[in-house]
Amino acid sequence: MRKPFIASNWKLHKTKEEAREFLNSFREKVKYVSDVEIGLGPTFTSLGTVSDGIEGTGIKLCAQNVYFEDEGAFTGEVSPEMLSELGTDYVIVGHSERRQIFGEEDRTINKKIHAVFEHGMKPILCIGETEKQRASGETESVLKSQLKNDLDGVTSHQAGKMVIAYEPIWAIGTGESASPEDAQAGCKFARDQVKKIVGNEAGENVRLQYGGSIKPHNAEVLMSQPDIDGGLVGSASLDPESFADIITITEEL
Ligand code: 13P
CA 134: distance to chain centroid?
Answer: 21
Q: Which residues pair with 8 in a beta bridge?
A: 233
- What range defines the domain where residue 48 resides? 5-251
Nearest Cα to Cα of residue 104 among 122, 131, 77 = 77
Q: Is the pLDDT of residue 83 over 90?
A: yes
Q: Which of 118, 138, 167, 220 is catalytic?
A: 167
pTM (predicted TM-score): 0.98
- Cα of 136 to ligand 1 centre, how many Å? 23
Count of beta carbons in the 10 Å neighbourhood of residue 60: 18
Give the alpha-carbon dihedral of 203, 98, 93, 165, to 10 degrees: -40
Identity of residue 59: I
Distance 175 CA to ligand 1 centre (A): 9
Question: Of the residues 37, 95, 97, 119, which is catalytic?
Answer: 95
Is the pLDDT at 71 greater than 90? The verdict is yes
pLDDT average, residue stretch 74-96: 98
Total domains in the fold of the chain: 1
CATH of the domain at 32: 3.20.20.70
Helix H or strand E segment including 60: strand 60-63
Summary mean pLDDT of the chain: 98
> Would you call 214 helix, strand, or coil by DSSP?
coil
Percent of the chain with pLDDT over 70: 100
pLDDT tier at 1, thresholds 50, 70, 90:
confident
pLDDT of residue 21: 98
Predicted confidence (pLDDT) per residue in 148-197, tens digit: 999 999 999 999 999 999 999 999 999 999 999 999 999 999 999 999 99
